[in-house]
Amino acid sequence: MATSLERAIIRDQTTGAAALSATITDATRDIQIISVDFHLDAAGGTSENFTLTRSDANNSEFNTLLVSQDMNTETDLVLINQDADFRVMAGDSLVFAFDNTDTNTFGLTVMYHALPSKGGTK
């Protein structure tokens, strides 16, 4: 049975008006994404993708692009994890990126659980 500490929701936020490069990593616990909200103060204008990549701690051959969304006509991107079993293993990273050539102000909010590692081999 999970304790309330194990199931606590963590909110990670970042904002800026230059290129976005943000990483979430937990060395000892698995990460389970609840949601990702990305907001621009104006549509991108330039055709550029917001990306979310799972970066493998041990072997870059296993890095996986999870999301790629062109933001040239968008101001909001909302992702909700509907797979409760999807986890990023302890030590691996979630990497968020957006070139932001048009220097729009952005806000990124990531909601997630940090859970005891299920272990496993990598």
**Given this model, what pLDDT does residue 85 score?**
74
Q: What is the mean pLDDT of residues 4-15?
A: 82
User: What pTM, to 2 d.p., does this model score?
Assistant: 0.88
Instruction: Look at residue 61 and give its three-state secondary structure.
Output: helix
Would you place residue 7 in the very low, low, confident or very high pLDDT band (cuts 50, 70, 90)?
confident
Q: Using one digit for the tens of pLDDT, what is the confidence trace for 41-63? A: 998 789 999 999 999 999 999 99
Rounded Cα gap, residues 73 and 51, in angstroms? 16
Q: Does domain 12-108 have CATH number 3.40.190?
A: no
Contact 17, 55 (CB under 8 A): no
Rounded Cα gap, residues 90 and 12, in angstroms? 17
Q: What integer best gives the mean pLDDT of the chain?
A: 90
Those residues with Cβ within 8 angstroms of residue 31's Cβ, 6 or more apart along the chain or in another chain: 24, 87, 88, 92, 94, 112, 113, 114, 115
